[in-house]
Amino acid sequence: MSDVVLSIKDVTKRFGDREVLKGVSLDLHSHEVVALIGHSGSGKSTLLRCANLLEPVSSGEISLFGQILQNPNIDDDAVRRHIGMVFQSFNLFPHLSVLDNVMLGPVHSLKESKDSARERAMALLERIGLANRAAEFPDRLSGGQQQRVAIVRSLAMQPSLLLLDEVTSALDPTLVGEVLDLLRDLARGGTTMLIATHEMAFAREVAHQIVFLDQGVLVEKGTPDQIFTNPTQEATRKFLERI
């Protein structure tokens, strides 16, 4: 756990006068799972979006494998090929079948052959138990199934790390479990992940590091035990009491 995959240095992000991130620094190592916790609007999603360049940072630097992404010669698309992202609202492509959703990235972004992409996509769908629904369209699936397909869609790119933006927040409580099970499975397999979440028990269980954000400020980070049993900051304590 020494090689840094993603390094965020003193990143700020402003939308007009509103400062959403105020000098956040954070390292993500290979095979490490980091959980971002904090109130809604604390800047968790914005940080994730900045990390794969869906939002430009206002100041500071983000580097992937030591290469600074704010360098104008960086190919944003190449960066995103190495960083998978899963969204709160799934964002599956409704006009494509489940299989085509998973194949789209490998075929049109990695320029992989259709046959090999299909084979890998089917293997991934097999893994989440949805191979028999491959030909169906996303509208037919439950929320939990859709989110698992979305996770597998980003895995099909064989990314170096996964960004997960409150991926269970839009789900029925009864469907949260299946998605968390898959993430647990990935964590066990050594997938590097940065997870924004409100599922505290889950964060405590799978994360190596917990990061608490409050109003754009990184208030505290530490091991799950430190943060959950012995937070040093007043704001962290208050947040954990409230939930």
- Which residues are near other proteins by CB under 8 A? 49, 52, 54, 77-81, 83-85, 87, 89, 91-95, 97, 104-105, 108-110, 133, 135-137, 139-140, 150, 153-154, 157
Rounded to 10 degrees, the C-alpha dihedral 232/237/239/243 comes to 130
Least distance (Å) from other proteins to the CB of residue 179?
17
CA distance 235 to 38: 10
Query: What is the layout of strands, in order, in the sheet containing 83-86?
Result: 83-86, 161-165, 193-196, 33-37, 209-214, 217-222
Least distance (Å) from other proteins to the CB of residue 76?
8
Pick 91 or 215: Cβ nearer other proteins: 91
Least distance (Å) from other proteins to the CB of residue 201?
27
Pick 182 or 210: Cβ nearer other proteins: 182
Pick 138 or 216: Cβ nearer other proteins: 138
Helix residue ranges per DSSP H, 14-140: 44-51, 76-82, 98-108, 114-127
Pick 65 or 93: Cβ nearer other proteins: 93
CA distance 136 to 54: 29
Whether residue 218 contacts residue 224, with contact meaning beta carbons closer than 8 Å, is answered with: no
- Helix (H, G, I), strand (E, B), or coil: what is residue 7? strand
CA distance 57 to 26: 14
Least distance (Å) from other proteins to the CB of residue 172?
19
Pick 83 or 210: Cβ nearer other proteins: 83
Least distance (Å) from other proteins to the CB of residue 105?
4
